Amino acid sequence: MPPAESAPKPQNALLVLGKISAILDAFSLRQPVMTLADLRQATGMPTSTVQRLVANLVSQGFLDREGDAYRIGLKLAYWAAPAVRGREILDVINPLLPGLRDATGETACLFRAEQRYRVCVGLAETRHTLRREMHLGKILPLHAGSAGHVLLAYDDELLRDVLDNPLEPITGATITSSADLRNVVARTRADGFAITTGERESGSSGLSAPIFDAAAGLVAAVTISGPTLRMPREVCEGWVETLLETAEQMTRLIGGRFPGEAKSRPA
Do 127 and 57 share a domain, yes or no? no
Number of domains in the chain: 2
Q: Which domain holds residue 252?
A: 89-263
What's the rounded Cα separation, in Å, for the pair 226 and 107? 6
Do 94 and 24 share a domain, yes or no? no
Q: What is the pLDDT of residue 267?
A: 32
Do 208 and 115 share a domain, yes or no? yes
The residues near 178 (Cβ < 8 Å, ≥ 6 apart) are 163, 167
Q: What is the pLDDT of residue 9?
A: 54
Q: What is the pLDDT of residue 265?
A: 39
Is 1 a member of any domain?
Answer: no
Which CATH number characterizes residue 255's domain? 3.30.450.40
Q: What is the pLDDT of residue 262?
A: 42
Do 39 and 138 share a domain, yes or no? no
Do 130 and 18 share a domain, yes or no? no
Is 63 a member of any domain?
Answer: yes
Do 202 and 138 share a domain, yes or no? yes
Which CATH number characterizes residue 17's domain? 1.10.10.10
The residues near 126 (Cβ < 8 Å, ≥ 6 apart) are 101, 105, 106, 107, 226
Is 123 a member of any domain?
Answer: yes
Q: What is the pLDDT of residue 46?
A: 93
Q: What is the pLDDT of residue 158?
A: 94
Is 2 a member of any domain?
Answer: no
| Prediction pTM value | 0.70
CA torsion through residues 177, 135, 233, 151, sign: negative
Do 182 and 67 share a domain, yes or no? no
Do 35 and 136 share a domain, yes or no? no
Is 56 a member of any domain?
Answer: yes
Do 99 and 198 share a domain, yes or no? yes
Provide the residue-wise pLDDT of the chain in tens; the chain has 267 residues. 455 545 555 557 678 888 898 998 888 767 778 999 999 999 999 999 999 999 999 998 889 898 899 988 877 766 655 555 545 778 889 899 999 999 999 999 999 998 889 999 999 999 998 888 888 889 999 999 999 999 999 999 999 999 999 999 999 999 999 999 999 999 999 999 999 999 999 999 999 999 998 888 999 999 999 999 999 999 999 999 999 999 999 998 888 888 875 443 333
Do 68 and 102 share a domain, yes or no? no
Choose the final residue of a domain: 72, 97, 113: 72
Do 68 and 95 share a domain, yes or no? no
Do 52 and 112 share a domain, yes or no? no
Is 32 a member of any domain?
Answer: yes
In 3D space, the residue among 95, 121, 75, 120 whose CA is nearest the CA of residue 255 turns out to be 75
Helices (H), 60-192: 74-84, 89-93, 97-104, 146-153, 156-163, 178-191
Is 218 a member of any domain?
Answer: yes
Q: What is the pLDDT of residue 31?
A: 78
Is 152 a member of any domain?
Answer: yes
Choose the final residue of a domain: 72, 99, 115: 72
Choose the final residue of a domain: 25, 45, 72: 72
